[in-house]
Amino acid sequence: MQIGEFADRTGVPQRLLRYYEERGLLTPGRTDAGHRTFQDSDVPRVETIRALLAAGLNTETIRIVLPCTDYRAGHLVPTCTEMLTHLAGEQDRQTASIARLERSKQAIDGLLAAAPPELTDPVRHAALHNMHEGSGADRV
């Protein structure tokens, strides 16, 4: 099937299918005229790619683990040890990223907690601001 039909069948836009090809995730055939052709067997591959993306993996990681991944009944299933090793490393990277985000959030929480009350109460702050603006030459 050509890319338009394949896009309709998988629910993935043509542009994204071309991107998957560019990243080495899909390898469609070509007609004599150079048009992409896809097989029925490419449908589960796209489902697997989508599931791995939804799991938070980038396309480079997906390219590496894709040969060791199956998508059965709506679930990802590892099919070789190399995938587990690579995913454990990815999990460590994500854990470190979460820790960095938590530290950043704590720093922001501290800044917000240290703010003077007149800055934390928008209504009071607006009233103070208006009072200062109206205290000049416009008073009679």
The pLDDT tens digits along the chain (140 residues) read: 999 999 999 999 999 999 999 999 999 999 999 999 999 989 999 999 998 999 888 999 899 888 888 878 878 888 888 888 888 988 999 999 999 999 999 999 999 888 888 777 765 556 566 766 655 544 44
* Rg, Å, the chain Cα set: 27
Q: What pLDDT sits at residue 135?
A: 53
Question: For residue 42, which of 2, 74, 77 has the smallest C-alpha distance?
Answer: 2
pTM (predicted TM-score) = 0.67
- pLDDT the model gives residue 139: 46
> How far are the Cα atoms of 54, 99, 100, 122, 140 from residue 65, in angstroms, in the given order?
14, 25, 26, 51, 77
The H or E element spanning position 77 is strand 75-78
